[in-house]
Amino acid sequence: METGGGPALQPLLCLTWVAAILPIAAAALPIPAAAGGRLLHQLLCAISSRGKTARASSASSSSKARFTVPQKFFLHFYVVGVVVTTTLLLAIWFYAYMKMTPLVPEPSSYSTIASHLVGSSNSFSLASFWSSRPREHKYRVWRTVFVLILMEIQVLRRLYETEHVFHYSPSARMHIMGYLLGLFYYVVAPLSLASSSLPEAIQYLRYQVAEFIVKGRARMPDLVIDPSHLLKPLLKLGWCQWIGAVIFIWGSLHQIRCHAILGSLREHKDSDEYVIPCGDWFSQVSCPHYLAELVIYLGMLIASGGSDISVWFLYLFVIANLSFSAVQTHKWYVQKFEDYPRSRNAIIPFVC
């Protein structure tokens, strides 16, 4: 039995990430200019530029400045991320609570009319299908809830920081394609984290809506949610989830410190003056906030159990995208400051 197009979701997400990774990988390779290598590299540099790097690139070409938006639009990324992640988290958490734990008694059989409305098979009911789920499958659904909670923490924190920590200059801009890709990322990233359980959760919610339409509110059983039962299954997850959570917290704490350092570089919000950032991981790399992001998503990958291919492709994109942006930022620092520490790498200490 298929559950809401499940087999097609993960391959589609993987193809999306591959399509996003390939141009970045190609731009990083030494492709001859005659083959379009230089043009591709310049295009990706323009798309990934923001703030100080966007100002540097647009200064040489006034036409490029027309295709930019204010950098403070970064806030939109995290608004979208919060909306999408919260929706997925609530849907899958509700499904896990109702059908993936023995703490709640199985509901009675659904009506035949409701079965027709959701297109279930006559050979067996969806109720028997859900009740027969093996233990490992139930744990996989709860792992998805766990990872989405981590993602929710991440996007909520970034939303707060964008509004209250960073002081974007009025002249700070970002390429409009980079803006649109950022919005797209914060839709596809939560979907990738939820892809292993989302189709069946949607199928279950569709079935609940169909039963409500058939029976009406008066004949539906009362929904009673025990808050303790919402959390107990999460506490029973394996060591991978808790190791992933510790790595996630470690990366988050460093990113908070690095963002605080970056947010305090300009005493005056309207100033365009920059200074060399110091402290925390800045002693090793030019973009420690990007390095912390790699650690954060590594924590999510480990917490997911590593069995979902779409999460691996998501992490590969994060590595490729942030590494490319970090290299451009590192070059800007080196060109801007004559006394810039030569011992610093771009994003990974002693590597690049």
Residue 305, exposed/middle/buried by CB under 10 A (0-12, 13-18, 19+)? Answer: buried
Helix 6-28 crosses helix 176-194 at what angle (to 10 degrees)?
A: 140
Which pLDDT does position 275 carry in this prediction? 84
Strand ranges for the chain from DSSP E = 68-70, 173-175
Q: Which domain holds residue 285?
A: 9-102+132-336
CA atoms lying within 13 Å on the CB side of residue 225 = 10
What pLDDT is recorded for position 286?
93
Angle at 20 between CA 146 and CA 186, to 5 degrees: 40
In a domain, 122, yes or no: no
Inside any domain, residue 231: yes
Residue 123 in domain: no
What letter does residue 281 receive in the DSSP assignment? G
- Distance from C-alpha of 8 to C-alpha of 312, rounded to nearest angstrom: 17
Q: Is the pTM of this model over 0.85?
A: no
Q: Residue 137: what pLDDT?
A: 82
Classified as helix, coil or strand, 120 is: coil
Predicted pLDDT at 90: 94
CA angle, 55 then 324 then 28, to 5°: 115
- The closest of 193, 81, 84 to 140, measured between CA atoms, is 193
Answer whether residue 152 is part of any domain: yes
How much is the pLDDT for 57? 52
The tokens describing 339, both together, are 């006394």
Instruction: Flag whether 275 is in a domain.
Output: yes
- In angstroms, the Cα distances linking 20 to 168, 269, 306, 321, 327 are 27, 34, 21, 9, 18
Per-10-residue mean pLDDT for the chain, 352 residues long? 58 94 80 60 70 54 66 91 96 88 46 46 46 73 95 96 83 84 95 93 85 66 68 88 96 95 70 79 93 97 93 96 91 88 91 84
Burial class (CB in 10 A: 0-12, 13-18, 19+), 206: middle
DSSP state of 339: T
Task: Check residue 208 and give its pLDDT.
Answer: 79
Q: Three-class SS of residue 347? A: coil
Q: Does 3 fall in a domain? A: no
- Closest C-alpha to 329, from 48, 62, 58, 73: 48
How many domains would you assign to the chain? 1
In a domain, 345, yes or no: no
Whether residue 346 is contained in a domain is answered as no
